[in-house]
Amino acid sequence: MTVVVRVGLLDGALDRSIGDAVYAVSGGAPLGANARDHGSQIARCVLAHAPQARLAVAQVFGSSRETTVDAVLDGLYWLIGQGVQLINMSFGMPTASPRLAQACRDAADAGIVLVASAPARGAPVYPAAFAQCIAVTGDARCASGDVSWLATAVADFGTHPLIEPGRPEHGGGASIAAARMSGLIAALLAQGVASDDLRARLQRAAIHVGPERRHA
């Protein structure tokens, strides 16, 4: 028996066609976007793998995809107050904020699963690099629904990175991969998998272990 899982999106606005899946909103115009805006794409990736999920949307980004630590903190604590079980954070900041680190600890202490996008290589980004977060990047080896266990310095897991599988011209990346992983995790939570068992469950499900190899 599956249960409804409440997923928090710390992102941009969604388009109104997703409104039936949304149970709480915060921000300037959280249901005023179009279907190709980032927030809408993130929501659809989550729902593609967890159609039973219900979304709480904290709009912290506008069309410029720029925000502040204060806005992210406000959105994160608002989502904690909405009783979400999982929060997707498809963004990365180059500098660790002690206040954001504390907010992630507070969310984790409340039993919330945190999923954040990370680069495949290079320097760590935040919040993905915080220990409380499941750090996810895109892995071209993965089909939609597949998981790879990377265990690199910057990413824990990888999954399919394209907005539309088979259509690379429509874009994608780590932020999309994180949203797909959030959907896969939400589906596991709906099946009754305990949050403490998620990492081990994802490791067992991985079809690839270790990072993609770069060919010369």
Question: Over the stretch 149-159, which tens digit does the pLDDT of each residue have?
Answer: 999 999 999 99
In contact, 180 and 159? CB cutoff 8 Å: yes
Q: Is 10 left (phi over 0), alpha (psi -120 to 50) or beta?
A: beta
**Least confident residue range of 2-6, 134-138, 167-171:** 167-171
Q: What is the pLDDT of residue 213?
A: 75
Beta-strand ranges (E) seen in the chain are: 6-11, 22-26, 54-59, 86-89, 113-117, 133-138, 147-149, 157-159, 208-209
- Is 104 a residue whose pLDDT tops 60? yes
- pLDDT tens by residue, 69-81: 999 999 999 999 9
What is the model's pTM? 0.93
Residue 29 confidence class, pLDDT cut points 50, 70, 90? low
Percent of the chain at pLDDT exceeding 70: 94
Residue 15 confidence class, pLDDT cut points 50, 70, 90? confident
